[in-house]
Structure 1
Amino acid sequence: MPKPIQRQSLTDLAVDALIDLIEERGLSEGDTLPATADLAAELSVSRPVIREAIAELAGQGLLERRQGRETVITLPGPRQLERLLRLRFAVTGTQLEDIQAYREVAEVGAARLAALNATGADLEAIQQKLDAIRAAQSEEELHQADQAFHREVARAGGNGLLLLTIDGIAPHLHQLRVEAWRGWKESGGGIKSIVEAHAVILDRIRRRDPEAAAQAMREHLSQAREGLVRIRGRRQQRPGA
């Protein structure tokens, strides 16, 4: 069955045209767009349409209006992605199982990349994060140190898109850690095995063994899944759940 034709507004078309213009001219972060009047003439639309298109792209973190009405190209970062995901989860509800599944894909891959690409400085940085896990004096310190360790592994992998998504989902990863840790403790797990799991991940990365590093990360994330399953099972047993 043919799909219905969707009519785009002039603003939507102008947004696409501005993105095409940025690509075609090879513009990058910090470069300035032509004046509104020039863009309107070049794209054969009115100035108000150009202003609306610029406002939309500015809201997405792609453009910035500066003093003197200059429009500068910017790069959307983790903050923009975090806001988008926060709004999505506010509407749909945070699904910790989905976030756990994301970790089991993204962070296993990150460990594999780190074993291939980590520099000596990267390995030292990961070691420092492992030391912070060992030195944690409270659960909140533990969660922060744990998140920093995993972020450092992702950064060492050298894939900017992977790091962007991990940073963008950071608040929800923290929520997942809190819940999973609670379940892990209830199931009889302790901090020692968690620290050892992180140490194994670093060791496999140091050995430059991507498959072993991926497996070590996979086994560690199974600890989080075990804790999450424990919490979910407890809630399902509550009256009215």
Structure 2
Amino acid sequence: MTGMDDSTRAALGELGPEASDSHNSMTQIFADDPVSSRLATIIHDLEPGARLPSERLLAEKLQVSRNAIRDRIGVLEGLGALARRKGSGTYVESLKPDSLAFALNLAISSSHLPLSSLESVRIALERQAAAEATEAADPVLIAYMRSALNSMASTDDSMEILEADRAFHQSLLRAAGNPALIFFADALAGVLVQGMKDRSDRSVARVSKEALIGKHEDIYEAVVSGRQEAAMAAIDEHFKALPQQAS
């Protein structure tokens, strides 16, 4: 296979087994489909922005038809792992939270999983973010949290309060300084916002502004003062007060 660069040859396994024996979560997703799993491994061995080997080369490597390769590339493109560029080829993309949200929505639809059951996952992510934020304490993001609280206090408009509430939680997640927490929380938010926005609006409307601000103040003060257990407890109390909120 002359004419290929080293990254393509490595992805196809021509630079030795060490170039293609790593697996990531995408490989596990396709564990029941050996062809997709092997294709995911090839993609994992390429850098974002790298061009995927041609369908012909992939078909030869995986010993399947080009149609089989084309179908699976289409699925991976739908998940945001690949992008076709007209007249240029197919390229590896960095997987983004909204891509994972799309996959989660598909999984939820097919398994009939209630969206409400994801709230406990979201709470767990926020508890961990609060704990880590007490140690990371990024001054800029802490300031954003304070600004969101001020925005809540300065308005009686329910939609503006809801937006400030979301801004507070987004700033808290980022204050933790943990990219994985941010990625999964953003992906989960992409699912929850689509399915639970109306219910969230009603939840905020049912709680007094003073109570809402008070719960957020407790979170803020615990994070700023570096009290990890108090920060996690404040998250729990916040969600107990707003059992159906998706902010």
TM-score (norm 1): 0.76
| Post-superposition CA distance 1:103-150 (Å, at most 9, x none) | 332212221111122311121122222222222341111112111211
Q: What is the 5 A alignment of 1:75-154? A: 75-87=94-106, 92=112, 94-96=114-116, 98-154=117-173
SS at 1:208's partner residue?
Answer: coil
Looking at structure 2, the residues matched to 133 and 87 of structure 1 have their Cα atoms a distance apart, in angstroms, of 35
Pick aligned residue for 2:208 from 167, 190, 197: 190
Question: Does structure 1 residue 180 correspond to structure 2 residue 198?
Answer: no
| Distance in structure 1 (CA, Å) of the matches to 2:113 and 2:123 | 20
- Percent identity reads 27
1:175, 1:80 → 2: CA distance? 23
CA distance in 2, matches of 1:100, 1:73: 32
Q: CA deviation at 1:173?
A: 5.5
| CA contact 1:40–1:50 (8 Å) conserved in 2 | yes
Displacement after TM superposition at 1:164 (Å): 2.6
Letter in 2 for 1:12: D
Deviation at residue 90 of structure 1 after TM alignment: 5.7
Q: CA deviation at 1:62?
A: 0.8
Q: Which residue of 44, 48, 51 corresponds with 1:32?
A: 51
Q: Cα distance 1:82–1:179, how it changes in 2: closer, same or farther (>3 A)? A: farther
Question: How many angstroms apart in 2 are the aligned matches of 1:62 and 1:129?
Answer: 34
Name the residue aligned to 1:221. Answer: 239
1:22 aligns with 2:37: no
Residue 66 (structure 1) shift: 0.8
Alpha-carbon RMSD across the aligned residues, in angstroms, is 2.6
2:218 is aligned with 1:200: yes
- Alpha-carbon offset, residue 198 of structure 1: 0.9
CA contact (8 A) 1:136 1:145 kept: no
Q: Deviations over 1:46-76 (max 9, x none)?
A: 3222212211211111111112241111123
Residue 220 of structure 1 deviates from its aligned partner by 1.5
Q: Which runs of 5+ in 1 are unaligned?
A: 1-8, 229-241
- Where 1:124 maps in the other structure, the secondary structure is helix
Counterpart-to-counterpart distance in 1, 2:35 and 2:109: 30
Instruction: State whether residues 100 and 176 of structure 1, in contact with CA within 8 Å, keep that contact through their aligned partners in structure 2.
Output: no
Q: Give aligned pairs, total.
A: 210
> Residue 12 of structure 1 aligns with which residue?
33
Residue type matched to 2:174 in 1?
A: R
Letter in 2 for 1:58: E
**What is the DSSP-based 3-state SS (H/G/I as helix, E as strand, rest coil) of the residue aligned with 2:203?**
helix
**Which SS does the other structure have where 1:29 is aligned?**
coil
SS at match of 1:18: helix
